[in-house]
Structure formats: structure tokens, C-alpha cells
Amino acid sequence: MKTIIEPFRIKMVEPIKLTTREQRAQFMQAANYNPFLLRAEDVVIDLLTDSGTSAMSAEAWGAMMRGDESYAGARSWYRFRDTVKDIFGFEQVIPTHQGRAAESILFGVMVNADSIVPNNTHFDTTRANIEFNHGTALDLPCAEASDLESDYPFKGNMDIAALEKLVAAEGPERIPLIMVTVTNNSGGGQPVSMANIREISRIARGAGIPFYIDACRFAENGHFIKRREAEFKDVSSIDIAREMFSYADGCTMSAKKDAFANIGGFLCTNDADLAHRERNILILTEGFPTYGGLAGRDLEAIAVGLREILDEDYLDYRLLSTRYVVEHLRELGIPVVVPAGGHAVYLDARRFLPHIEPLQYPGQSLAVELYLEAGVRGVEIGTVMFGSDPHTGEEKPARLDLVRLAIPRRVYTQSHMDYVVEGINLVWERRKDIRGMRIVKAPQFLRHFTAVFDWI
Ligand code: F0G
């Protein structure tokens, strides 16, 4: 059969409220042209994030009923810990309420004002947690990452030569850890190859620097490895994951992504002393080491989700359904980042709206227009998000102006995606009439969440 189907059927549904263009114009004006400030129920297709928005399985809901809510040493904790150890292979597992809590604990113990932490591309919470500890977060994406139109298969890779140079110059004295983010969210959801991970590990181990993986989308990354790196074509998802993590000394994880959970995360390491210090902070900020800010039922859901995410039919469907949207947009001539990543579709707002200057926020205009046209909510990843220096207030264009349409796992069907493609195309057809935006009011830090906009 050539038709790819969603490899699940629907047992429980949530109605979508359909709205008219007039209603959406009112909702968007009331939200000050910032999609973050819309009410979710006024959104037809919500592609703001794939984080915490997945549909859980009957199996996971069933497991939640069995959650052991004992304060210490609950059955659910052991189930969670053993599942994490089996897949990720690290000796020490520290549960947290979500990914950024794991980052906060890790960088709290490892980073100081002299520290430089390289990554392929830091996600914004990773960067912010390093900077909060007065360290420097350094992005070292591979050269191929900057060509949005090339079909290079591993655009998430780290620039190995640049890493080698940095390590030679600064050494373990200034580099407390090296990180790599799989898939590279801020770089378009692009995968990192096993070959690249091996190289990073070789450099890190050679210099005695711990190597950590930001593992949020590890299963999607593993499946790209399976499909694109010949050596892995017959290797199972779990063995690909095990090999990937075998090269690392620890990881941070948001279970809100590749564990299908609505909340949760963890931090892993093989270093027992480090884990001891991390658990001391955990108790202060998250909770006892056998629940770390989560209910027993959450630990159960994560344990089930981590196994389910490694199902190869699911992973085939996941990567193909994202590619489905990208290919359709490409056929229509709509500028989109290629090749398709795992969890999201990224529209290139600068090429979509070339008549709008970066400082008039083409990504924001496009995100707003998509909502007005079709009720689709995406997020600007560009000059609004990155263009302002929080210390000086100085504005300059970000490297890229993109709109991210992140696809929640197992939530929307192919006809929902056809609707999204049609909506984008209707905006594309009237692109010449679309105006830029200005910021009326914005806070100093992380301004994209709450800024107030208006049309120019
Ligand atoms: N690392 C990466 C690569 C992420 O994408 C995220 C979250 C985090 C860390 C933090 O995890 O949200 O559980 O605290 N990304 C979400 C997104 C928010 O929409 O891309 P968290």
C-alpha cells in the first residue's frame, strides 16, 4: 500500500470550535496581535508547540490510574527509573517537572562566570539557564545549516572543526560541558547524525570534558539516523537510542516531547558525586529524588510514552506527516525550510514577505495573517524573539525570520494538515498586500511572550 495512515485510531475526541474571519479579527485585535495572548479555544489548529500537547494512548491513561502517589520510593518511580535506564543507559536518573528544571539544576552546579557551553544550537531555555548562571552559551551549527534551501540530510550537526578549535583554545578549565541538541529545535528541527555525535564525543573525551545530550526529540532524531545513515538501516530504534547516549556522559530531557507526556522531564549522569549535588538542589526546588516535582501518575505516563515513541510505525508516520506538509508547500512555491524536520514546519518569512523589512517583523505579520485567514496558530522565530539586546535595548535583525508550525504528536489528522496547507496558500496568494508590524510595548526579557503589536 502506498497510502500512509495514522497508525492509531481515535478513542476520545475534543471538539474544535470553528470561527469566522470576523471573529478571528476581533480575537486577534484583543490579543494585541500576539498569538501567545489568544485563548486556545479560539484557535482552530494550534501549532504553537509540540511540547506537552501530545495525545496519550489508552495504555498511558490506564497506567496513570495505577500511579503510586507515595511520597518516597513509589512503585511508579522505579518503573520510570528503570525505563529511563534501559533506553538512555545512564546510572543516575533525576526526575524533574519539565526540561528547563533539569537544565537549571545541571547548569546551577556546573556553570560559572568563566564558563563557555558550546551546543549545535541552544534552545532558548538552555541559553537562558546558562546566562542566568553568568556563563556564555555558544552556538556552533554546521555550515550547511545556514542554507535553508539545501537538502543536506543532517543540518542539525555541530561544526566539528569549530568545536575542536574552541576546545584547544579554552580546554576543560573554561568548558564545563559540551552539549548537542537532538533534533536541533532552534535550527529548524533538523537531525544530528550518529557520525557527528561520535566526533563530538571523541573531542569531549579527549579533553576530559563531559558531553551532554539535550534529548527532547531523541526518537525523531534516531529515526532520521535510521533512514539516512546507511549503517543504521537495520538497527532498531531502541538500539539507535542506546548507541547515541552511550557516547554521552549525561542528558537533559523534556518528557513533554518524545515521551508523549503533558508534563515531566529528567536529568541523567554517570557521575555519582555530581548527581549527589544535583539531588540536593532537586530537593530544594523540585521535590524528593523519587518524584522530582511529578505525581506518581505522571511518572507512569512517561514510562509508557518512552516505550511507545520508539515504535517504528509511529516514527515513520511522524516524519512522513511532517514531510507531507513541507512537500505540499514546496510544490506551491511557498518558501519553507527544507528538508522537513521532525516536529515542525518552518516558513521562511523573509522570502514569503520580501517587501517587509526585518525590523518590521515579517514573521510576526505572517503568524498573525495565518491566524486571521485560517485560525492556525504558529510562532514567530526571528527578530521579535531574538532581535533585541535585553541589556542595551538595541534592535537588530535576527539571523532568520521564520514562522514555526509545530505539530503536536498524534493530535491532528491529514485533513487538518490539508486545511493548514490551504490556509498558508491563501495567505501566499495575497502576500503583496500584507503589511509589516511595529511593537507598541514590550518587556526587556523574552519579549515575544507578552509584547503588544500593531500594523504599520
Ligand atoms: N530543549 C529543547 C530542545 C526544547 O525544545 C525545549 C522546549 C526545552 C529544552 C525545554 O523543555 O519546555 O520541558 O522546559 N521546547 C518547547 C518548544 C517549549 O515549544 O519548542 P521544557
The residue type at 80? F
- Ligand 1 atom index nearest CA of 184: 3
b/e code 140-149 from CB counts within 10 Å (16+ = b): bbbebbeebe
CA 135 to mean position of chain CA atoms: 22
In order of their start, the domains of the chain are 21-50+312-455 (3.90.1150.10), 58-308 (3.40.640.10)
Cβ pair 349, 402 in contact under 8 A: yes
Closest protein CA for atom 2 of ligand 1: 123
Ligand 1 pocket test, candidate residues 216, 404, 409, most atoms within 8 A of CB: 216
Cβ pair 120, 184 in contact under 8 A: yes
Q: Does ligand 1 have an atom closer than 6 angstroms to the CB of 125?
A: yes
Q: Does ligand 1 have an atom closer than 6 angstroms to the CB of 98?
A: yes
Q: Does ligand 1 have an atom closer than 6 angstroms to the CB of 181?
A: yes
Q: What is the three-class DSSP state of 331?
A: helix
Q: Does ligand 1 have an atom closer than 6 angstroms to the CB of 96?
A: no
- Ligand 1 atom index nearest CA of 264: 13
- Ligand 1 atom index nearest CA of 406: 19
Q: Does ligand 1 have an atom closer than 6 angstroms to the CB of 264?
A: no
Note if the pTM is more than 0.85: yes
Cβ pair 38, 27 in contact under 8 A: yes
Average pLDDT over residues 247-272: 98
Q: What is the pLDDT of residue 4?
A: 82
Q: What is the pLDDT of residue 3?
A: 86
Closest protein CA for atom 5 of ligand 1: 185
Distance 124 CA to ligand 1 centre (A): 8
- Ligand 1 atom index nearest CA of 254: 13
The residue type at 179? M
- Ligand 1 atom index nearest CA of 100: 14
The 10s digit of each residue's pLDDT in 124-160 is: 899 999 999 999 999 999 999 988 889 999 999 999 9
Closest protein CA for atom 9 of ligand 1: 99
Ligand 1 pocket test, candidate residues 96, 100, 346, most atoms within 8 A of CB: 100
Q: What percentage of residues in the chain have a pLDDT greater than 70? A: 100
Q: Does ligand 1 have an atom closer than 6 angstroms to the CB of 214?
A: yes
Q: How far apart are CA 298 and CA 52, in angstroms?
A: 12
Q: How confident is the model at residue 188 (pLDDT cuts 50, 70, 90)?
A: confident
The 10s digit of each residue's pLDDT in 329-386 is: 999 999 999 999 999 999 999 999 999 999 999 999 999 999 999 999 999 999 999 8
As a whole number, the mean pLDDT across the chain is: 96
Q: Could you report how far apart the first and last alpha carbons of the chain are, in Å?
A: 51
- Ligand 1 atom index nearest CA of 256: 13
Residue 281 has a CB neighbour count (10 Å cut-off) of 16
Average pLDDT over residues 186-210: 96
Distance 125 CA to ligand 1 centre (A): 7
Q: How confident is the model at residue 437 (pLDDT cuts 50, 70, 90)?
A: very high
Q: Does ligand 1 have an atom closer than 6 angstroms to the CB of 119?
A: no
Distance 254 CA to ligand 1 centre (A): 7
Q: What is the three-class DSSP state of 183?
A: coil
